[in-house]
Amino acid sequence: MQSHDNVAKIYDRWGRIYDIIFKRVLSEGRDVAVQMLDMNPGERLLEVGVGTGLSLPLYPRNTQIVGIDISRRMLEKASKKIKMHELKHVELRVVDAQEMDFPDDSFDCVTACYVVSAAPDPNKVVSEIRRVCKPGGRIVFINHFKSENPVLAKFEKLMNDVCKQFGFETTLDLKTLLKSNNLESKMTKKVNLFGCWRAVLCFNSKN
């Protein structure tokens, strides 16, 4: 398991070139996440792992957006996008997704794009997402999860140590993650290059 500081350092380094590499490659996932959220005017959204803010211009301007990340360098890039696009409805904060300082039930919806498998403890992140999301609120994950194909899953396991050096895991199991956090997938869609990532919509049950 990687430490918080190690993950922050990795993504501070990625901050310099993240947009160049991932803006187009992961754009479909960001678009699908916004579509799945289907936000209403006045709703409040938390984006966990907002990174360089590539998704921020996609949200409706009649909503309230809070973006958090552990990488200051990433947030510096996101701040420039806010100014460039005049996104006055967006707020950024340096926050560890495993220990958020928001009160319970603070947000109507939460999205976590390409972040859960990068966290030292994915279950803590999901648990915190459920805590700060209102009962019945929408939660959308965009992530690479372990393949359901046994052959591909074996290959992903072999590649996991290498991928950790780039800040993410390849062996996170979606069904186990959701079951451990009392969540159920309401909609799933394969996205991005070769469908290697999945967009997952859940409704937050506080039971």
Separation of alpha carbons 67 and 53, rounded Å: 8
Residue % of the chain over a pLDDT of 90 = 61
pTM: predicted TM-score of the whole model, two decimal places: 0.85
pLDDT, tens only, 130-162: 999 999 999 999 988 866 765 565 545 545 454
119 or 43, higher pLDDT:
43
Residue span of the structural domain in which 169 resides = 4-203
Of 86-90, 143-147, 148-152, 194-198, the range with the lowest mean pLDDT is 148-152
Q: For position 145, what pLDDT does the model report?
A: 84
Q: Give how far Cα 4 sits from Cα of 9, 54, 167, Å.
A: 9, 23, 11
pLDDT of residue 164 exceeding 80, the answer is no
Separation of alpha carbons 142 and 112, rounded Å: 6
pLDDT, tens only, 58-82: 999 999 999 999 989 989 999 999 9
Q: For position 192, what pLDDT does the model report?
A: 85
How many domains, in total, are found in the chain? 1
Q: Computed over its alpha carbons, how large is the radius of gyration of the chain?
A: 16
pLDDT of residue 41 exceeding 70, the answer is yes
Which tokens hold the place of 201?
A: 């919509």
pLDDT interval class at 14 (50, 70, 90): low
Average pLDDT over every residue of 45-67: 96
Domain at 128, CATH number: 3.40.50.150
| Interacting residues of 164 by C-beta distance below 8 A, sequence separation 6+ | 2
Q: For position 18, what pLDDT does the model report?
A: 63
pLDDT of residue 167 exceeding 50, the answer is no
